[in-house]
Structure 1
Amino acid sequence: MTPFAELLERLVFTPGRLAKLALLRDYFTHTPDPDRGFALAAIAGDLSFTAAKPAMIRELVTARVDPTLFAWSYDYVGDLAETAALIWPGSRAGTAPRLSDVVSILSDTPKAALPAVVADWLDMCDASERLALLKLITGGLRVGASARLAKIALGEMAGVPADDIEEVWHGLQPPYGPLFDWLSGRAPKPDAAGAPVFRPTMLAHPLEETDAAALDWSAYRAEWKWDGIRVQLVATPQGRRLYTRTAEDISHGFPEILAAMEFHGVLDGELLVMRDGEVAPFADLQQRLNRKSPGPKMLKDFPAGVRLYDILFDGDEDLRALSFDDRRARLEAWFAHHQPARMDLSALIPFTAQADLAELRFGARAASIEGLMLKRGDSAYLAGRPKGPWWKWKRAPLTIDAVLMYAQRGHGRRSSIYSDYTFGLWREDGVLVPVGKAYSGITDQELAFIDRWVRAHTTSRFGPVREVEKGLVLEIAFDAAQRSNRHKSGVALRFPRISRIRTDKPAAEADRLDSLIARIPAGGPAKGEALVEEGD
């Protein structure tokens, strides 16, 4: 655990991307197998231990430390693993276990015996090693190093493109022996050999005004940016899978889509709820997400479908190197031949100039569409987010001036800062009611300002949450509003974020709830779930 603990600690305190890459390269170069493979899995979020839960950690600590002291410490630190690592009483002579041994024992030890094993490890470790161990158990390292950054470091170590690593990644399992054998020159590149694995997705850049001004619009093709979630459909002789654009396997939640995948290939599209060919609001799709086993009523009331954008593989033939125009022709021919159930094609939008699309984009909100996609006709399907081939031209966000009501500390580097905010609007009777939560969109300086304001204007505390004086106005940007019977206000916002702090505006002059409700399209169904952002 010691080298892994040192890596995590140095990553936390190293701000620069290039410096983090150097740390990762050095670790992967000098750490033996299988430890480096398990470290890679931990950074990538591919390790989980069903028997080891955060509740077990809490029980271990409160058995050794006064529960009130632990509760106050946890409230201040804001992170369970960090609190437990710092407050654990002393240590005894011993050697911290190897990372691979920890993974093996956590996976194989019966649940009833695990607390004694973990307590013994904590006794043998110093604070840094304890933190690494507990982060491993609870998941979510939060050290500023993503799976993508780790793959880039591996590529630099071995002299291969990170995209080549992405290509084989989803056919491997920790500790990635075949991957390291290939990178070390001991074996050929791993081959998924027909397995239904995820292929790296091509993403788009937001189109800013400066980009639009320099664009050769005649080189691009336009499509609607549908308001669902981006998915990849993979069907091979070895199985069928439905993945999100972040490679999460959601096959179990959409059995009707898997049943319709009676083909061999890899397709790119948008998962939507569709009724009689019409796209339902995103809130309807939200009813289906994160459900492991939808029942007959759910399948009937919220029928899922896929609007297809692209074709990556036709059978075993890899089409990604072809131009978008050629892939589109192949997709249209493929669709005409297979006519798959629960799928249709996302239509191309004819246009002659930017002004044509600008007018369509302006009306996108009324049609419950997020905006437009622009794709160069000669663009290959490239992994990641290359700037230039694809653009997303989303409709302009809506804004409201809302009043800060509650604040809570964040996690990781924000664990001691009030960074998660609940905001509200005024009802006609003068009561302030919450309409959403936000924690993004502001700079570190603005974050520090709000943190100081919260501490100076707290009126009540509810565990980790502080209620504040109704005196600070925040301008909130959001993509859409939806009626919601789950919220006291009757409204839920899509992807709310803070656009600026309105110190110039008195709280009494913040927006009214009825003005927000008036923006919701008439006849929109009320839904019980809050809205979340997923998609490119």
Structure 2
Amino acid sequence: MSLPAFADLLERLIFTPGRNAKLALLRRWFATQPDPDRGIGLAAIAGELSFTLAKPSIIRELAAGRTDPELLAMSHDYVGDLAETVALIWPEADPRPNRPPPDLSEVVETLELAAKADIPRIMADWLDVLDAGGRLALIKLVTGGLRVGVSARLARQALADWAKTPVEEIEEVWHGIPVPYRPLFDWLEGRAERPDPKDVPVFRPPMLAQPLETADIAALDHTAYRAEWKWDGVRVQVSAGPGGARLWSRTGEDYSAAFPEIMDSLDFHAVLDGELLVMREGEVAPFADLQQRLNRKVVGPKMLREYPAGLRLYDMLFDGTEDLRPLPFDTRRERLEAWFARVKPRAMDLSPQVAFVSLDQLSALRDGARAAGIEGLMLKRGDSPYVAGRPKGLWWKWKRVPLSVDAVLMYAQRGHGKRSSTYSDYTFGLWRQDENGGRELVPVGKAYSGYTDQELVWLDRWIRNHTTGRFGPVREVEKELVLEVVFDAAQLSGRHKSGVAMRFPRISRLRQDKPAAEADLLETLMAMVENRPEA
């Protein structure tokens, strides 16, 4: 199947709102496209394709050679996306080459075998035979810039729906099958047995907790539950054995390269569930420190020394080849403690269980969690098996009450997917004194959630009517609108101009009743910082 079919899928995904509609589009792709193209399209959408030689800079240089460089720069500044700009501005070849567009498989095979010096010519030849939609799809495909509102998890869910197979079964073999997933499709279409990843360190879908609400507390039998702290890090899964080792995020993203000190400790055969943290002498550092390590492909000695990572273990899924997930939590905890005492894994410790005798005592512990830099509590039924997904009533997360400030909207940016034409990402600021004794707004955070659909429509219209400057996809607005922003924590951060970072900021409400001059001061936010050094 030619690349235009994939371009059509991408366009429909971008402009199709709603999860169910996107799932339907993906199911149709799996049902109608041939191998290997349907598997390649699945890999691209799931973020599993990578072409190391096809850099965005090559695309930019090609476009600059075919068009006026100044026009290209101005167009890129206005559109805000290089792939979309080049797809629109690329001149039609005259005469247009008399050859068909490439198949997805042709693109992949050609780029995998091509020398670096040949990449510009190959890309130009393909761009010449494609229309604007095909060019956009090609550039996004080879540069890894797909943003169509579909996560890897949603893509696997669509595959599961199409095959009428539990998504958990697909996820347990997914990372053991190479692109274009022929053994996977053979199994799902009944031509072969389920693939056996054997000792490959595959990802197992995690068990997640439900938020504990007031109504749930009233019906809770606290004696059936065990309590643990909810640490402010990143939930991860370690999979190690004879076939290798991996460190997975809770969504199946491979974190291995970013945390070599964890990987160096995986000289055992087990699958473990825990929290990734920066730890110094056994003490948990603020989440802002962990952010220094996330999403890095290369970690140098200085980073390892200043931001040492560790793994705080919660649970044990496999002990060797034995699957412990059907066992009760209490049994799995005993197995984890015995394994930890026996193996003594480096860069790891056990998350302690919290003793309590009543819900009132638990509530008091939760209320005091903020002072200790902890997100709250986890409650786990002692008899609960390890079940993928978010089953109701087995595990609860009881987070502390969020903090809030009134901030001023400063900048807005278009979103992605179904929000690509709407200003839905908001940068906001607080007041501080400037060098001349006056006041200035300084950015303190960015939020893109918390508002209703009706509020989003109103905000988008307000932003367009109050724009004072444009910087590519970003608009600067009049400093008039106050937003109430709630967040889980505030921490000192050298990465931010304000010197402080918010944890999970979201818009609570629009304060159209409040003048911008009455928004909060930066010192108000600073007073909420958890990792502030003693005066």
Q: Which moved more, 1:396-405 or 1:52-61?
A: 52-61
The Cα shift of 1:214 comes to 4.0
Asked whether 1:245 is paired with 2:254, we answer no
| Percentage identity across paired residues of the two chains | 68
The Cα shift of 1:292 comes to 4.2
Within 5 Å, which residues of 2 pair with 1:222-237? 222-237=227-242
Within 5 Å, which residues of 2 pair with 1:372-451? 372-428=377-433, 429=437, 430-451=439-460
The Cα shift of 1:443 comes to 2.7
The Cα shift of 1:494 comes to 2.1
In the alignment, the residues of structure 2 paired with residue 199 and residue 296 of structure 1 have an alpha-carbon distance, to the nearest angstrom, of 31
Asked whether 1:455 is paired with 2:464, we answer yes
The Cα shift of 1:394 comes to 1.4
Match of 1:433, SS state, is strand
Match of 2:525, SS state, is helix
Q: Which moved more, 1:84-93 or 1:497-506?
A: 84-93
- RMSD over aligned CA atoms reads 2.4
TM-score (structure 2 length as normaliser):
0.91
2:76 corresponds, among 59, 69, 74, to 74
In the alignment, the residues of structure 2 paired with residue 411 and residue 26 of structure 1 have an alpha-carbon distance, to the nearest angstrom, of 23
Task: Confirm or deny: 8 A CA contact 2:246 2:256 kept in the other structure.
Answer: yes
Match of 2:513, SS state, is coil
Asked whether 1:183 is paired with 2:185, we answer no
In the alignment, the residues of structure 1 paired with residue 142 and residue 58 of structure 2 have an alpha-carbon distance, to the nearest angstrom, of 10
Give 1:43's aligned amino acid.
I
Asked whether 1:517 is paired with 2:526, we answer yes
Query: What is the match of residue 168 of structure 1?
Result: 173
Give 2:84's aligned amino acid.
E
Task: Confirm or deny: 8 A CA contact 1:483 1:524 kept in the other structure.
Answer: no
Change (3 A) 1:121 1:228: same
Task: Confirm or deny: 8 A CA contact 2:230 2:376 kept in the other structure.
Answer: yes
Give 1:516's aligned amino acid.
L
Task: Confirm or deny: 8 A CA contact 1:287 1:302 kept in the other structure.
Answer: yes
- Note the alpha carbon deviations across 1:320-344, whole angstroms, 9 max, x for none: 1112122112112222222323322
Change (3 A) 1:17 1:461: closer
The Cα shift of 1:507 comes to 0.7
Asked whether 1:139 is paired with 2:141, we answer no
Query: What is the match of residue 12 of structure 1?
Result: 14
Match of 1:481, SS state, is strand
Match of 1:432, SS state, is strand
Task: Confirm or deny: 8 A CA contact 2:241 2:269 kept in the other structure.
Answer: yes
The Cα shift of 1:515 comes to 1.7
Change (3 A) 1:485 1:158: closer
In the alignment, the residues of structure 2 paired with residue 56 and residue 296 of structure 1 have an alpha-carbon distance, to the nearest angstrom, of 32
The Cα shift of 1:523 comes to 4.5
Gaps of at least 5 residues in structure 2 are: none
In the alignment, the residues of structure 2 paired with residue 179 and residue 118 of structure 1 have an alpha-carbon distance, to the nearest angstrom, of 30
Q: Which moved more, 1:381-390 or 1:70-79?
A: 70-79
Match of 1:401, SS state, is strand
In the alignment, the residues of structure 2 paired with residue 457 and residue 151 of structure 1 have an alpha-carbon distance, to the nearest angstrom, of 41
Give 1:278's aligned amino acid.
E
Task: Confirm or deny: 8 A CA contact 1:79 1:415 kept in the other structure.
Answer: no
Query: What is the match of residue 56 of structure 1?
Result: 58
TM-score (structure 1 length as normaliser):
0.91
Asked whether 1:111 is paired with 2:116, we answer yes
Give 2:31's aligned amino acid.
T
Give 1:358's aligned amino acid.
S
Asked whether 1:275 is paired with 2:280, we answer yes
Q: Which moved more, 1:39-48 or 1:93-102?
A: 93-102
Give 1:6's aligned amino acid.
D
Change (3 A) 1:7 1:224: same
In the alignment, the residues of structure 1 paired with residue 524 and residue 18 of structure 2 have an alpha-carbon distance, to the nearest angstrom, of 44
Q: Which moved more, 1:71-80 or 1:240-249?
A: 71-80
- Note the alpha carbon deviations across 1:349-375, whole angstroms, 9 max, x for none: 233333222211111110000111122
Asked whether 1:483 is paired with 2:485, we answer no
Asked whether 1:120 is paired with 2:125, we answer yes
Change (3 A) 1:96 1:401: same
Change (3 A) 1:414 1:20: closer
Task: Confirm or deny: 8 A CA contact 2:149 2:416 kept in the other structure.
Answer: no
Give 2:308's aligned amino acid.
P
Asked whether 1:503 is paired with 2:512, we answer yes
The Cα shift of 1:230 comes to 1.4
Task: Confirm or deny: 8 A CA contact 1:398 1:477 kept in the other structure.
Answer: yes
In the alignment, the residues of structure 1 paired with residue 62 and residue 532 of structure 2 have an alpha-carbon distance, to the nearest angstrom, of 53
Change (3 A) 1:307 1:108: same
Task: Confirm or deny: 8 A CA contact 2:240 2:246 kept in the other structure.
Answer: yes
1:338 corresponds, among 340, 343, 366, to 343
Give 2:307's aligned amino acid.
F
Change (3 A) 1:140 1:218: farther
Give 2:482's aligned amino acid.
V
The Cα shift of 1:28 comes to 1.2
Query: What is the match of residue 35 of structure 2?
Result: 33
Give 2:175's aligned amino acid.
H
Change (3 A) 1:196 1:486: closer
Change (3 A) 1:442 1:381: same
Query: What is the match of residue 86 of structure 1?
Result: 88
Change (3 A) 1:486 1:304: closer
The Cα shift of 1:234 comes to 1.8
Give 1:497's aligned amino acid.
R
Task: Confirm or deny: 8 A CA contact 2:171 2:203 kept in the other structure.
Answer: no
Within 5 Å, which residues of 2 pair with 1:337-356? 337-356=342-361
Match of 2:313, SS state, is strand
Task: Confirm or deny: 8 A CA contact 2:258 2:295 kept in the other structure.
Answer: yes
Query: What is the match of residue 319 of structure 2?
Result: 314
Task: Confirm or deny: 8 A CA contact 1:481 1:519 kept in the other structure.
Answer: yes
Task: Confirm or deny: 8 A CA contact 1:223 1:346 kept in the other structure.
Answer: yes
The Cα shift of 1:165 comes to 0.5
Task: Confirm or deny: 8 A CA contact 1:78 1:409 kept in the other structure.
Answer: no
Change (3 A) 1:277 1:136: same
In the alignment, the residues of structure 2 paired with residue 505 and residue 335 of structure 1 have an alpha-carbon distance, to the nearest angstrom, of 55
